[in-house]
A and B are shown apart, each in its own frame.
Chain A
Amino acid sequence: MEEQERNHIEEILERATYAAAIFNQYDQEQVDRIVRAVYKAALNNRVMLAKMAAEETQMGRWEDKVTKNAIAAQYVYENLKNQKTVGIISENEHSGIVEIAQPIGPILAIIPITNPTSTTIFKILIALKTRNPIIISPPRKGANSTIEAARICYEAALSEEAPEDCIQWNNNKTREETQHLMKHPKLALILATGGTGLVHEAYSSGTPALGVGAGNVPVYMEKTADPSFAVEQLILSKTFDNGTICASEQALVVDKEIAGKVKEELVRQGAYFLNPEETKAVEKVAWNTETKSMNGAVVGQSVEKIAAMAGIKVPEGTRLLMVPLEKIGDEEPLSSEILAPILAYYEANDFDDAARKCIELNYHGGIGHTASIFSCDEERIKKFSVMMNAGRIVVNMPSAQGAVGSLFNTLETSFTLGCGTAGKNITTDNVSARHLLNIQRVTRRRMNVRMLNLGFDIYLDESLDADTLEREYNKNY
């Protein structure tokens, strides 16, 4: 790496450290004023930023990117606005525990090309709410829109006297420069939303990181589901921003009792079932045989464009390409995650068969992420949920919008969805402001009565076994 780049990184981190120091003096009221100004500026610019992102990345639909920006600004703000994030945040007289929230320090935010402006707005809001400076690392192909979103937020923050350099961005960087930034000792945390490679680099850097995992979301339509409603919700999710959200459905598994009705509804609502030849043609453009992953060229593209790329003809107005498959795994590339309006389709003989298929799909590149079910059978919903390895199991709702939170449920709104240890993450939570705080616990004397009654001398008697000690410990308690 050039000396100039090294100096540039030093300067960014030095500025961020100074911003962190100044931020430490701010009280809750000042912080909330800053967050409010930033949210309003982002919301006011939602359309311009969406159009800019769609134009620059050539992915997704600008109209849906407007919705994403609105969610990242308004819904995130509504989640955050009443949260205590400064100083003493809770006092419990009974337990004698007082919790104090402290900022963690400079955060590096990796921004994905699929959601550049919305993720930027979201990460800036949660960082400022917790008095942490943030350094935005834009995706190469979405740098201008990402930086414009960051710039708008920064200006708004400064208008409410936020610390200088509380928001910075690192443009035109090389991969090596990003790696160097990740390892910098002054960096407190990496918020890594992006491809598996980048997330892995973040985790390997030695700096604490909150990352995401890859998704391969199965959606199960159980026989008690309402086909018309379920299909409507599924299409709403899978076609949203042309499928760029990693929590969108990747494979539909339908109980055969309702398969006929579901297929009918799918076709009626704009899906088109590919025949085997068409499937092969779509597979060719959607799958990269060298990297054994989805082809970037189809990510966030419309059905029309994908059909043209594959050289197939689909009825006018088609919104979703259905791919009937038998197998799951490497031998069937389209059973993997494809962030585009392409959906694998399976039929199941019964609940156990469906559950087996969903587990296989879940473990085929999507463990820890999200799973979806449509059903009116409470027992089956529970059984299915226990079997899935997913941070979020969304029930009777569109998976993409459901996983993001706040719209169809009470999950916290987030553009960084933790995938647990299965996804090589530390949490299955929807990452939010509370993950960006160091919580200090002040603990007051509250004596353990059983310890006082038992004392410690009893342990010196070697003849007393564990059962006796357990009995004595709980005696008269």
Chain B
Amino acid sequence: MNLKTESTDELVICHLSGRLDTIASLELEPEIDKITDNGKKMEFDFHEVDYISSTFLRICLKQYKTLGAGNFWIKALKPDIKKVFMIAGLEKLVKG
């Protein structure tokens, strides 16, 4: 699994890693959905993510829409992955 979580009272940090291709993303989606249900803010830590698929991009957008601006963000992206979010016009999802 490419996911480890860490939780405080208000925030869940999802440490993701490796290639988040279609299969990995589909496996991760229910796990992430479960965590989202607890009403906390959420951070995706991307510092070990090497690739994201269309499916995972959709998951990021879903989190953003569900939790709302200010309650979901992605941090520590490698430059290649940062570029993906810039091309997609989704810089609003990225913090730092």
Contacts and interface: CB of A to CB of B under 8 A. Distances in A.
A105 B81 CA distance: 17
B51 interface: yes
B46 to A, nearest CB: 13
Contacts of A24: 83-84, 87
Contact of A21 (B21, B22, B51, B84): B84
Interface stretch (A158-166, A328-336, A406-414): A158-166
A20 interface: yes
A17 interface: yes
B80 A25 contact: yes
B53 interface: yes
Nearest to A20: B87
A22 interface: yes
Nearest to A26: B51
Interface in B73-96: 80-81, 83-90
A316 B46 CA distance: 73
Interface string B50-89: 0111110110000000000000000000001101111111
B21 A161 contact: yes
A24 B53 CA distance: 11
Contact of A17 (B51, B80, B89): B89
A351 to B, nearest CB: 56
A22 B84 contact: yes
A161 B53 CA distance: 9
A17 B87 CA distance: 7
Interface residues of B, number: 19
Interface in A10-28: 17-22, 24-25
A19 B58 CA distance: 11
A19 B83 contact: no
B73 to A, nearest CB: 18
A25 B51 contact: yes
Contacts of B53: 22, 161, 163
B55 A21 contact: no
Which applies to chain B's interface (DSSP): helix, strand, loop or mixed?
A: helix
Contact of A18 (B22, B51, B57, B81): B57
A22 B56 CA distance: 10
Contacts of A186: 89
B83 A18 contact: no
A21 B57 contact: yes
Contacts of B52: 22, 25
Contacts of B22: 161
A323 B34 CA distance: 76
B14 to A, nearest CB: 20
A18 B80 contact: no
Contacts of A105: 87
Given A17-B88, A17-B89, A161-B22, A22 B57 contact: yes
A25 B51 CA distance: 7
A21 B88 contact: yes
Contacts of B57: 18, 21-22
Contacts of B54: 18-19, 22, 163-165
A17 B88 CA distance: 5
Nearest to B83: A24
Contacts of B81: 25
B55 A18 contact: no
A151 B55 CA distance: 19
Interface string A17-43: 111111011000000000000000000
Interface in A182-227: 186
Interface in A277-303: none
Nearest to A19: B54
A30 to B, nearest CB: 10
Contacts of A18: 54, 57-58, 88
B57 to A, nearest CB: 6
A22 to B, nearest CB: 5
B90 to A, nearest CB: 8
Interface string B38-51: 00000000000001
B27 to A, nearest CB: 15
A17 B86 CA distance: 10
Contacts of B21: 161
Given A21-B83, A21-B84, A22-B54, 17 more contacts: A18-B54, A18-B57, A18-B58, A18-B88, A20-B87, A21-B57, A21-B85, A21-B88, A21-B90, A22-B53, A22-B84, A22-B88, A25-B51, A25-B81, A25-B84, A161-B21, A164-B55
13 contacts: A18-B57, A21-B57, A21-B83, A21-B84, A21-B85, A21-B86, A22-B52, A22-B54, A25-B81, A25-B84, A161-B21, A164-B55, A186-B89
Interface of A: 17-22, 24-25, 105, 161, 163-165, 186
Interface of B: 21-22, 51-55, 57-58, 80-81, 83-90
A-B pairs with the 7 shortest C-beta distances?
Answer: A21-B88, A164-B54, A21-B87, A21-B84, A163-B54, A22-B54, A18-B88
